[in-house]
Chains A and B, each alone.
Chain A
Amino acid sequence: MSTAPISSTAIVPDRGRLNTRTNVITEFWRYRELLYFFAWRDIKVRYRQAVLGAAWAVIQPLLNMVVFAFIFGRLAHMPSNGIPYPLFSYCALVPWTYFSGTLGLASSSLTGNTSLLTKVYFPRILLPAGTVLAGLLDFGIATLLLIAMMIYYHIKVSWLMLLSPLAILLMIVLTLGAGMLMAAMSVKYRDIKYVLPFLIQLMLFATPIIYPSSVVPERFRPFLALNPIWGMVDCFRACLLPNQPFDFKLIGISVGVTFVVFAAGLYYFRKSEKTFADII
């Protein structure tokens, strides 16, 4: 008749608990090809019928940098920790552009794939994760320009640069954590779609991206530490640019907040994913 069963899958009711039967990591591994395909689809689709194609990955942070360099660097004479202002701001704008752009896309990764969610099973986490993965291409292209600028401004190579993969990892963890949270929430609350762009814009100014953290008054610094984006941005600067002030304690808190965001995002996502198909 039939061969021996290969696997046995039990489907148990959702009691609002975490789905413990299916382990996130093993499932993630089993479906890694699909993760790659989702990312590949995002990349393929993003620049189809766009004349400038992947150049957009550079144009956006570059134009931001030019505007900020003019307004803050030239007109306002914003201090920049002894680094030429364009490089100083661009170095932070690269991870920021990745974070803000990817978060926006990740938040709609579930609501934009309704037919997939209601018609086929796969670990739901692959959708925001795929977006996060796909964003890395743009990030890489924007980074090439950053390297070019560092050469142009004669930035010396230092051992600290070897730590930059850790900064990138931090950026991915933060983006994925926030992305899962926003994606899962927007299934239930479409309000996220309206709130998020506004929040992202606010965060650009609330975070020392276009200005150094040194301009933030001492007494506000602890609040700054609660902002995980600050930790991400300052880690990038500390790794890539010479002689950057680095407050281990406060940035440590900020990095800790990043992992809290990730854990919260993962928890909320796993908790609500069973009802996605019912309420989307």
Chain B
Amino acid sequence: MSAAIQIDKVCKKYQIGHVNPTLREHITNVMTLKFLKKKSEEDVMWALKDVSLSIQHGETVGIIGRNGAGKSTLLKVLSKITYPTSGTTRVEGRVISLLEVGTGFHDELTGRENIFLNGSILGMPKKEVRRQMEAIIDYSGVEQFIDTPIKRYSSGMRLRLGFAVAAHLDPDILIVDEVLAVGDAQFQKKCLDTIRKLRESARTILFVSHNLAVVENLCERCVWIDQGQVQMDGESGAVIRDYQESAREHKAVTVELDSTTGRRGTGKIRFNGLEFLSPDGMSQKIIRAGDPVVMRFHYTATDTVEFPSFGFKMYTESGVLVTETSTSHHSIYIPAIEPGVGYLDLNITSLNLLAARFTISLWVTDQTGATVHDNVENAVIVEVEPANLYNSNWFADSRFGIVYFPQKWDLSGIPAVENPTAKLPPPQLEPLPK
């Protein structure tokens, strides 16, 4: 069976700088023979560079990437809105592109009239719109205002109406761009339900979103586009993890503490680094909520230290103490440390912190705490990344607290629950500003 979408070495070049010359500029260009000059390469931006993809019938593929990576350009090429500079694409079947909800809505027209117009723009025959009219109005939830010009609508009502039309299209291939970035939780749930339904009926779906949780949940396959090129293509979980890691690439998770000043203590033994490892000992680029983590405390001793106690405190950004722990809290007694270097590992089975930024202070004291050998306040800032903690696609962050508990709901005490395992998609929240 041939692919639903076949993209072959597609490139898209944009001229930047002088985008829209006026007639006068054209005339002066002709007069000064400027047009004969070769356009310099600097003025060229490659929105897509040699993109090749093959998407099979019935696949649901997520497309992720930073802003300006070329995701939307790719969708526009597939939707025939813009044409590739080179390369070809082939699409099999009826394509519906939802690059925007409510495309072509006209303010002066009523809701009902706009359903006709929008449906027609999206390629739904008039007969079909008429047949589905009641269902669309019902789905939109704006029955009351359906004969009011939509200039009186709130933006939420407009969105719901627009999506209601889209939800009643019957495409073989659906191309969706960031519809989830807008609208309230209820609206987004509806969107997702509809997309899920399409997926179940084996339609091909191409889905661009910044909401990685949704992508991970909805798509088995994910394509990560970076600077106009396919960076990675494969199983969603793996692609998303690598993508998240790349976003944090420049942040050191091994922190050198040699040059840290403002520390106090005898200096007989000092911390010279803190490292975050995965349980298999590999250096971890990002720390996700719920991950198993090994914290490795590196030290250098310049003198023999007897019965040292190593510990740390962790604070939230607002200064709330999250936890304090040390070797002496575990009643671990280290008789002596000889001069030299070494490290201690703290194994954390599951880092049950929610996504947020935390500050860590470190210390080494003697057994009683009376003598401080080294104390580095605010030594390290750790950023915990959101993760799919409850397997519910709810990416919890600091709005839901600092910590989470390993937990399970039990609904067996509610008499009338038919299917206690049924899951609703979570409300989608705007990402927190960094």
Genuine A/B complex: yes
The residues of A with any CB-CB pair to B shorter than 8 Å are 1-3, 5-14, 33-34, 37, 41, 44-45, 48-49, 113, 115-122, 188-191, 274-275, 277-279
CB of B88 within 8 A of CB of A13, answer yes
**In the complex the two chains form, what is the Cα distance from A14 to B85 in whole Å?**
6
* 8 Å CB contact of A48 from B94, B100, B108, B125: B108
CB of B89 within 8 A of CB of A45, answer no
CB of A9 within 8 A of CB of B80, answer yes
A232 to chain B: closest CB distance in Å?
Answer: 27
CB of A1 within 8 A of CB of B106, answer no
In the complex, besides A113-B104, A190-B22, 4 extra interface pairs with C-beta distance below 8 angstroms are A1-B202, A8-B92, A34-B121, A120-B100
Residues of A within 8 A of B78 (CB): 11
* 8 Å CB contact of B83 from A13, A113, A117: A13
Residues of B within 8 A of A277 (CB): 76, 81-82
B15 to chain A: closest CB distance in Å?
Answer: 9
Q: Is B425 an interface residue (CB 8 A)?
A: no
**In the complex the two chains form, what is the Cα distance from A190 to B113 in whole Å?**
31
**In the complex the two chains form, what is the Cα distance from A9 to B1 in whole Å?**
16
B161 to chain A: closest CB distance in Å?
Answer: 16
**In the complex the two chains form, what is the Cα distance from A189 to B85 in whole Å?**
22
**In the complex the two chains form, what is the Cα distance from A277 to B92 in whole Å?**
23
**In the complex the two chains form, what is the Cα distance from A122 to B104 in whole Å?**
12
**In the complex the two chains form, what is the Cα distance from A14 to B86 in whole Å?**
8
Q: Is B70 an interface residue (CB 8 A)?
A: no
Q: Is B19 an interface residue (CB 8 A)?
A: yes
Interface string of B24-61 (1 = CB under 8 A from A): 10100000000000000000000000000000011000
A279 and B20 in contact (CB under 8 A), knowing A41-B106, A115-B104? yes
Q: Is B402 an interface residue (CB 8 A)?
A: no
A116 and B202 in contact (CB under 8 A), knowing A10-B90, A45-B106? no
Question: Which of B115-160 touch A at CB < 8 Å?
Answer: 116-117, 120-123, 125-126, 149
* 8 Å CB contact of A279 from B19, B77, B125: B19
Residues of B within 8 A of A8 (CB): 90-92
CB of B121 within 8 A of CB of A120, answer yes
Of A11, A122, A188, A190, which is in contact with the most chain B CB atoms at under 10 Å from its CB?
Answer: A11
Q: Is B84 an interface residue (CB 8 A)?
A: yes
A278 and B202 in contact (CB under 8 A), knowing A41-B117, A44-B113, A191-B22? no
Can you list 27 contacts pairing A with B, beta carbon distance less than 8 Å?
Answer: A2-B58, A2-B93, A5-B92, A7-B92, A8-B92, A11-B77, A11-B78, A11-B90, A12-B83, A33-B125, A37-B116, A37-B126, A41-B106, A44-B109, A45-B109, A48-B108, A115-B104, A116-B103, A116-B121, A118-B99, A121-B79, A189-B23, A190-B20, A191-B22, A277-B81, A277-B82, A279-B19
**In the complex the two chains form, what is the Cα distance from A239 to B91 in whole Å?**
51
Residues of B within 8 A of A13 (CB): 83-88
* 8 Å CB contact of A116 from B4, B104, B116, B149: B104
Q: List the count of A-B residue pairs having beta carbons below 8 Å apart.
A: 128
The residues of B with any CB-CB pair to A shorter than 8 Å are 1-2, 4, 14, 19-20, 22-24, 26, 57-58, 76-95, 97, 99-100, 103-104, 106, 108-109, 113, 116-117, 120-123, 125-126, 149, 172, 202-204
Residues of A within 8 A of B172 (CB): 2-3, 5-6
**In the complex the two chains form, what is the Cα distance from A41 to B106 in whole Å?**
8
B345 to chain A: closest CB distance in Å?
Answer: 50
**In the complex the two chains form, what is the Cα distance from A253 to B94 in whole Å?**
46
B109 to chain A: closest CB distance in Å?
Answer: 6
A33 and B88 in contact (CB under 8 A), knowing A115-B100, A274-B83? no
* 8 Å CB contact of A7 from B93, B122, B203: B93
Residues of B within 8 A of A122 (CB): 121, 123
**In the complex the two chains form, what is the Cα distance from A90 to B88 in whole Å?**
54
Residues of A within 8 A of B85 (CB): 13-14
A119 and B103 in contact (CB under 8 A), knowing A6-B94, A8-B92? yes
CB of A11 within 8 A of CB of B204, answer no
Residues of B within 8 A of A1 (CB): 1, 57-58, 202
A272 to chain B: closest CB distance in Å?
Answer: 12
CB of A5 within 8 A of CB of B103, answer no
Residues of A within 8 A of B116 (CB): 37
Residues of A within 8 A of B19 (CB): 279
B75 to chain A: closest CB distance in Å?
Answer: 10
Closest CB pairs A-B (n = 10): A2-B57, A5-B92, A121-B80, A14-B83, A37-B120, A191-B23, A189-B23, A48-B108, A119-B100, A274-B83
